Homo-oligomer: A and B are copies of this chain.
Amino acid sequence: MPEIEFRSDVTVELVRSSASDSDVLFAARVSTQGEQTLEAAQDGHDATSRDRGLINYLMRDRHGSPFEHNSMTFYVQAPIFVFREFMRHRMASYNEESGRYRELRPVFYVPSDDRNLVQVGKPGAYDFLPGTPEQTALVRDETVRASTQAFEAYQRMLDAGVAREVARIVLPLNIYSSMYVTVNARSLMNFLSLRTKREGSQFPSFPQREIEMCAEKMEDVWQTLMPLTHEAFQSKGRVAP
């Protein structure tokens, strides 16, 4: 049996992208300048304060479509319970590793020692606090044991000739999977608005920490590709257009 591996992180890598603030500007200017925009688009162009103003205006007035003419493909590794939440976002393209087509590798998520473990507050406004040392140890021990037992059961079924799609059903939600996900900036802003924490906002959100870890890494990448758009998103309270 392959050796079982435990991790506490998620990884996000940019595979390919065609995304820049100037794509937003050119798309927006089709509305106002029509056929003159193409030439400008092909000439290349540096952002000016007028550009910043236009992007801020689009964000504030919720003109969302100019933020769609771009594309970012990420390769994400995370436990299945994160992917379950991720794939509820329908304005993205997904291809995930399949337990029907391949034997899954024994890599499991275990919360890191600084992951908050205790939930307080009422539904819709939960807060999470650090666990005691006993709780932290318990979570680690139970997670390691349950993952190991499940993987051994999976392996015994495979060894006996049982189909992968059947054997996998005993695997737990903390097993890692990987996927290609492609989004545009508008759909990414929607994702970020819901999957990063916004306490005290007019429209608060309370994501599970592990999907927020993915969201933060995607945001870091996106911010370098489209700094003006990111800045406008931030300044308008992180409400997606």
Contact = CB atoms under 8 A, between A and B. Distances in A.
Contacts of A194: 62
Nearest to A145: B153
Chain A interface residue count: which class?
Answer: 35 or more
A50 B119 CA distance: 23
Q: Is the interface of A mostly helix, strand, loop or mixed?
A: mixed
The count of identical subunits is 4
Contact of A69 (B117, B166, B182): B182
Nearest to A186: B93
Contact of A31 (B37, B79, B98, B167): B98
A224 to B, nearest CB: 17
Contact of A169 (B79, B93, B131, B169): B79
A162 B131 CA distance: 8
Contact of A170 (B97, B115, B142): B142
A42 interface: yes
Given A61-B206, A84-B84, 10 more contacts: A15-B41, A30-B180, A60-B204, A62-B203, A69-B180, A117-B163, A135-B162, A138-B157, A142-B170, A168-B173
